[in-house]
Chain A
Amino acid sequence: MSEFVQSEFGSKGNGSKRRSIGKESNFEPKIVVFACNWCSYAGADTAGIGRLQYPPNVRLIRVMCSGRIRPAFVLKAFELGADGVMWSGCHFGDCHYVFGNYRAEEQFEITKGLVKMLGLEKERLRLEWVSAAEGGRWAELIKEFVEDVKKVGPSPLRKKKEDDKRKIKEEMMGT
Chain B
Amino acid sequence: MKEEIIKRSKAYYCLDCGKCTAICPVSNVRNGYSPRKLVTLTVNRSDDYVLQDAGLWSCLTCRMCQEICPSDVDYVVFTKLLRAEAKKVGEEGRCSHGGALHSLMKIMTAAELNQDRSGWLTPDLKTSKQGEYLYFVGCLPYFDLFFSDLKANSLDIARSTLKILNRLGIEPQVMSNERCCGHDLLWSGDVENFKKLAQHNLNQIKKTGAKKIITSCPECLMTLKIDYPELVGKVDYEVVHISEFLSDKLSQIRIKGFEKKITFQDPCRLGRFMNIYEAPRKVMQSIKGIELKEMKRSGNKAICCGTACWINCDSSSKRIQAERLKEAKSTGAELLVTACPKCQIHFKCAQSGSEKEKPPEELKIEIIDLTTLLSLAIGGE
Interface residues of A (CB under 8 A from B): 18, 70-73, 75-76, 78-79, 106, 110, 113-114, 116-119, 156-157, 159, 163-164, 167-168, 171-172
Complex Cα distance, B329 from A142, in Å, reads 55
**B376 contact set on A, CB distance < 8 A:** none
What interface size band does chain B fall in?
20 to 34
B199 near A114 (CB under 8 angstroms)? no
Given A73-B98, A75-B100, A75-B107; A117-B141 close (CB under 8 Å): yes
Given the known A-B contacts A156-B112, A159-B110, A164-B110, are A118 and B104 also in contact in the complex, defined by CB atoms under 8 Å?
A: yes
Contact at A168–B116, with CB atoms within 8 Å? no
* 17 residue pairs from A and B, CB less than 8 Å apart: A70-B100, A71-B98, A75-B104, A75-B107, A76-B98, A110-B146, A118-B107, A118-B115, A119-B115, A156-B114, A157-B107, A159-B110, A164-B110, A164-B196, A168-B196, A171-B199, A171-B203
8 Å CB interface, B82-110 against A: 97-100, 103-104, 106-110
Give the distance in Å from the alpha carbon of A118 to the alpha carbon of B103 in the complex.
Answer: 11
- Give CA–CA (A118, B112) in the complex, Å: 11
Given contacts A79-B103, A113-B145, contact A118 B97 (CB under 8 A): no
Select the residue from B108, B110, B145, B200 with max chain A CB neighbours within 10 A.
Answer: B110
Q: Are A118 and B113 in contact (CB under 8 A)?
A: yes
Q: A159 and B111: CB pair below 8 A?
A: yes
Which A-B residue pairs are the 4 nearest by beta carbons?
A72-B98, A167-B111, A72-B100, A75-B103
A110 touches B148 (CB 8 A): yes
Specify which chain B residues have a CB less than 8 angstroms from the CB of A164 in the assembled complex: 109-111, 196
In the assembly, what is the distance between CA of A76 and CA of B106, in Å? 9
* B258 interface contact, C-beta 8 A: no
Which residues of chain A are near B141, meaning CB under 8 Å? 117
The residue of chain B having its C-beta at the shortest distance from the C-beta of A75 within the complex is B103
Answer yes or no: B142 CB below 8 A from chain A CBs. Answer: yes
Interface string of B129-168 (1 = CB under 8 A from A): 0000000000001100110110000000000000000000
What is the minimal beta-carbon distance from B310 to any residue of chain A, in angstroms? 11
Tell me the smallest distance from the CB of B8 to a CB of chain A, in Å: 27
Complex contact A79–B100 (CB within 8 A): no
In the assembled complex, how far is the CB of residue B106 from the closest CB belonging to chain A, in whole angstroms?
Answer: 5
User: Please, which residues of chain A bring their CB within 8 A of the CB of B119?
Assistant: 117
Check A117–B100 contact: CB distance below 8 A: no
Question: What distance in Å separates the Cβ of B94 from its nearest Cβ neighbour in chain A?
Answer: 12
B117 near A: Cβ within 8 Å? yes
Q: Are B106 and A114 in contact (CB under 8 A)?
A: no
